[in-house]
């Protein structure tokens, strides 16, 4: 598109990995180390391997878009941001960027350790092409947002990682770049500051019309801040579209469907826990709990659903429902529990499980499995479950 603020065409980044062949025995490796040190000879030939961190990536970003970039570790997210930030040169392809870029990719990006916080604010502004007068106009806002006023004239090499991130994000967000690029580095800050940063990114995009690229493994944050998303898989662009669709695609490919447990065989125990990914995408929660016992038991399974902060939302077990459902005695099997519809707001949740019979408790697994749920009522920039609670009741409006 001609009006795109970022256009990426056929982008690729290749690295050469060097491998030194060596013996698997520790004593041989130690002997080889001394031999190399004193004889200055190689014990084995080195081999090289090509690795493509990115391959044939194509996409466009329009002015004012807030784009979430998501993918598993090693998918190429950070490499992509480094190329867009002009830190790393691509091997193939072309990038067109129409505007100033401010990047926050890792703790200390763009800062000089020997300079004070005050001096680094002016240094970063100058790198972005701003005049001293423009920087001074924003200076008080930056300091107030970062909350490091007490240490403003201290060399930043003495800052904690949290203080570094506070000041670095404040500088990047307030010095009016047309494009703001933020990596997972915000996870270093405390929860309140993360919320503050997410709110600022939304303000930068919606209120000021600037473009934001945000990489995070926190799908709730991506859903709350971003409008569109890009999914990377093994260095290739797998999908691009609205953020809810992209997050769902990411969760479907990466959901840990089954958790397997080991336990003593001389007493009844839980063997597996499975969440049905297809049902979850449809708005239902189906939990399958496998069990095994040295002697027949009437399995009673308990389930507690909680938020990622540990707040219980709902729980139930076979004792609570009385004789409404009573399975036959068995030495092994699977108990299925279904919660439909799953009336939750979008967020990260945990499942804890217990195994007993009508009288005795045998096994428990707290926070045994984590999953992310995307509500059908989701909309971009919706408040987090910390603010409005986890339950998504069916309100009626007149």
Q: What is the mean pLDDT of each run of 10 residues along the chain (398 residues)?
A: 83 83 59 57 64 93 91 88 90 91 72 88 81 88 88 89 83 81 71 77 75 84 86 92 85 68 85 88 90 93 91 87 78 93 87 91 91 74 77 87
Q: 1.20.1050.10, 3.40.50.720, 3.30.413.10, 2.70.50.60: which CATH number matches 258-388?
A: 2.70.50.60
Q: Tell me how far CA of residue 148 lies from CA of 141, 163, 164, 172, in angstroms.
A: 12, 7, 9, 15
Comparing CA positions, the residue from 156, 66, 170, 175 lying closest to residue 112 is: 156
Helices 132-146 and 117-127: crossing angle in degrees, nearest 10, is 130
Across 324-351, b (16+ Cβ under 10 Å) vs e yields: eeeeeeeeebebebebeebbbbbbbbbb
- Give the H or E element holding residue 28: helix 26-39
**Listing from the earlier edge strand, what are the strands of the sheet with 92-97?**
46-61, 6-20, 92-97
Q: What is the DSSP letter of 398?
A: -
pTM: 0.65
Assign domain 6-253 to its CATH superfamily. P-loop containing nucleotide triphosphate hydrolases (3.40.50.300)
Q: Tell me how far CA of residue 87 lies from CA of 10, 110, 119, in angstroms.
A: 18, 11, 22
| Token code pair at residue 87 | 């830190």
| Token code pair at residue 203 | 């303000």
- Bridge partner residues of 300 (DSSP): 356
> Are the C-beta atoms of 198 and 169 separated by less than 8 Å?
no
pLDDT at 324: 64
Q: Where in the chain is the domain with CATH 2.70.50.60?
A: 258-388
288 Cβ neighbours under 8 A, 6+ residues apart: 272, 273, 274, 275, 276, 334, 335, 336
Comparing CA positions, the residue from 275, 278, 247, 271 lying closest to residue 355 is: 271
Cα(152)–Cα(139) distance, integer angstroms: 11
pLDDT at 175: 74
pLDDT at 294: 93
pLDDT at 1: 44
pLDDT at 271: 94
Q: Where in the chain is the domain with CATH 3.40.50.300?
A: 6-253
């Amino acid at each position: 598109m001609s009006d795109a603020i970022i256009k990426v065409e056929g982008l690729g980044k290749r690295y050469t990995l060097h491998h030194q062949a060596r013996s698997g025995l520790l004593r041989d490796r130690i002997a080889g180390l001394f031999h190399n040190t004193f004889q200055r000879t190689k014990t084995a030939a080195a081999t090289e391997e090509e690795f493509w961190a990115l391959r044939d990536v194509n996409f466009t970003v329009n002015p004012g878009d807030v784009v979430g970039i998501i993918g598993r570790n090693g998918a190429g997210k950070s490499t992509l941001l480094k190329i867009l930030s002009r830190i790393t040169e691509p091997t193939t392809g072309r990038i067109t960027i129409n505007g100033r870029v401010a990047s926050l990719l890792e703790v200390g990006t763009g800062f000089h350790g020997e300079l004070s916080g005050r001096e680094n604010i002016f240094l970063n502004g100058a790198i972005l092409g701003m005049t001293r007068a423009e920087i001074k106009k924003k200076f008080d806002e930056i300091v107030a947002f970062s909350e490091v006023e007490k240490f403003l004239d201290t060399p930043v090499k003495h800052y904690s990682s949290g203080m570094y991130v506070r000041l670095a994000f404040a500088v990047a967000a307030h010095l009016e770049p047309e494009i703001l690029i933020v990596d997972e580095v915000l996870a270093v800050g405390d929860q309140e500051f993360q919320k503050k940063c997410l709110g600022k990114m939304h303000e930068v995009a919606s209120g000021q019309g600037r473009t934001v690229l945000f990489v995070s493994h926190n799908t709730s944050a991506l859903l709350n801040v971003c409008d569109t998303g890009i999914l990377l898989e093994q260095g290739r662009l797998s999908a691009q579209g609205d953020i809810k669709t992209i997050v769902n695609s990411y969760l479907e490919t990466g959901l840990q469907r089954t958790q397997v447990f080991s336990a003593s065989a001389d007493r009844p125990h839980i063997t597996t826990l499975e969440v049905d990914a297809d049902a979850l995408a449809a708005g239902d929660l189906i939990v399958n709990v496998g069990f095994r016992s040295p002697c027949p038991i009437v399995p009673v399974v308990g389930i507690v659903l909680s938020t990622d902060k540990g707040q219980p939302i709902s729980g139930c077990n076979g004792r609570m429902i009385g004789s409404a459902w009573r399975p036959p005695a068995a030495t092994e099997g699977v108990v299925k529990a279904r919660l439909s519809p799953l009336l939750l707001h979008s967020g990260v949740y945990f499942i804890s499980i217990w195994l007993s019979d009508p009288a005795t408790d045998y096994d428990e697994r707290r926070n045994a499995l984590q999953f992310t749920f995307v509500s059908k009522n989701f909309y971009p920039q919706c408040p987090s479950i910390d603010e409005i609670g986890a339950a998504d009741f069916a309100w009626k409006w007149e």
